[in-house]
Amino acid sequence: MRKLVRAVLLLVLLLVGALVAALLFIDVLARTGIEKGATYALGVEAKAKGVSLDLIDGQLVIGELLLANPEGGYTSPHLMQMGRFDLVVKPRSVFSEPIIIEKFILDGLDLNIEQALLKNNVATVLANVRRLISDKPRKDGKKIKVDRIVIRNVVVHISFTGSGLLGQTHTLKLPEIQLSNVTSDRPGGAVVSELAARIFPAVLAAVLERSEDVAGVDAGALARIFGDLTDLLGGVDITVGPEPTPGD
């Protein structure tokens, strides 16, 4: 009898240990998936911090996502630094496909648009995105469905040649950006890399829309750098709040 009790206790301990290990490993898997997806889509190094996935409540939190500049001698500290992501996932969809995201809020986004001689960091990344969508879609990775994304506290630093602005940096603070119909054209959902390849140009489209209202920013030069973003958005609708706030 004692041997049976010990065996049962040992089994319980092993199951508890396996469950704890699995929960810890889930956060690692989520972080790795986010980093690999963003890197593949944009062609730059991506580092995520503070990733936590609660399977019971369906909450995914990312403390920070940092995108490095592409190679090319850029002096800005990063291409894009994103703050806290708060996502609510439909719990039952976590173990199925697609994963359904019911809420997606990003609070804090710092973007550097930098011209270094004949190279531009954003143009380089956009070339990677265009190459991605021209290739066959990736079949690996869980697919995600999300209708609406809210991005708050967006700050953009613009430094590029043209109109005698070489060496000058202008800062643009954007109001809340709302993206809707993010994956509406993909009934089966989109993998992380495809989602990143839509969010990035959508932010740039919002920047372009508001840049015309800021003194010293050459909106025409930005438009030439970005090129036609329509083919990258995949039907995403973009709404930007009422008033931009310029700064130096």
pLDDT tens for residues 26-41? 677 778 889 999 999 9
Q: 211: domain range? A: 2-247
Count of domains observed in the chain: 1
- Residue type present at position 134: S
| 148-159/99-116 β-pairing | parallel
Task: Report the C-alpha gap between 132 and 126 in whole angstroms.
Answer: 10
pLDDT at 248 over 60: no
> How many angstroms separate the first and last alpha carbons of the chain?
78
Handedness of CA 46, 65, 104, 22 (dihedral sign): positive
Mean pLDDT, range 139-164, rounded to an integer: 82
pLDDT tier at 167 (50, 70, 90 boundaries)? low
Task: Report the C-alpha gap between 248 and 45 in whole angstroms.
Answer: 28
| Cis preceding linkage at 137, omega within 30 | no
